[in-house]
Amino acid sequence: DVVRVPPSIHAKLKKAVDEGIAQWDNLREEQQVADSIYGPYNPKFVDLGPLAQEVIKEMRVLHEQWSGLQLRATSAYGVRLYRNGSSMVMHNDKPQTHVISSIMHIAHEYDDDSEPWPIEIEDHNGQLHAVSLKAGEMLFYESAACLHGRRQTLKGKYYASIFVHYMPKEKSIWDFSLEDVINNVPPHWRQGVIEGEGSRWAGQCLTVDSCVTDLVPPRTVKGEIVHNITQYYLDHKTPHYYSARHIPLPPKSEAPPVRLLEDDL
């Protein structure tokens, strides 16, 4: 669901971002994101200090209303400023702590406002939805359960967002760890798969070639750089249980309508 960020919260976040952008060259760059964020530049980062905890506390009730669950705050990450030419691999977030989440979009500077930078989310029925958030809007989603990413490249100077995460207080509702995810992979999953190290990792998720992201690096198979994995399988005549296919970006009309928070209060 897409709703408006409460104006008072957005104003505080926008002020912090504006102050950071005014000192652009002095903003720190986010590190250790090369496995999931592709492009010529690492994201810039605006450290919020105590404001991050203030935001996650104030936003908890809205996430509880959306999910129908009592929640415990686990993480407020941002503000991340993606930079020109960036894309993000399709992935899932941490299964134990990033259960009920939202992306709060604060500001952006596009080269052309008619070419926004959508996030794609796969719903529980396997359907992809492309959502282009406006500044001051937020998207509720189940970030541990639903595959999501930004396969297109950003065309603009920056795209600024903060990511807010919660987990249910009641463990009987959700009590999964990364080990649980790994242990529940079917035994036949690797039959016929010839990659020595598996596929590309992103956060807690193994990426899939059916959701290829712009700028994704080539696959490395047994030390060999492979630019076309399908052709590699054909050349080596190795049986496998997967046929790579490219899923196009879903039409914008599939994005959910924006609702005002007042509609739920």
Per-residue pLDDT of the chain (265 residues; tens, 9 = 90+): 899 999 999 999 999 999 999 999 999 999 988 878 889 999 999 999 999 999 999 999 999 999 999 999 999 998 999 999 999 988 888 888 999 999 999 999 999 999 999 999 988 888 889 999 999 999 999 998 888 999 899 999 999 999 999 999 998 888 888 778 777 777 766 565 554 433 454 444 555 555 667 777 677 666 677 777 667 767 765 544 443 334 455 555 444 444 444 444 3
Strands 71-83 and 44-45: antiparallel
Residue 229: per-residue pLDDT: 66
Supply the pLDDT for residue 100.
95
Q: Which tokens go with 248?
A: 């196009």
The DSSP code sequence of the chain is: -EEEPPHHHHHHHHHHHHHHHHTGGGSEEP-S-TTTEESSSPPEE---THHHHHHHHHHHHHHHHHHTS-EEEEEEEEEEEEETT-EEEEEB--TTT-SEEEEEEEEEEES-TTS---EEEE-TTS-EEEE-PPTTEEEEE-TTTS-EEE-SPP-EEEEEEEEEEEEES-TTT----HHHHHHTS-GGGGTT---SS-S-EEBTEE--GGGPPTTPPPEEETTEEES-HHHHHHHHT---S----PPPPPPGGGSPPEE-GGGT-
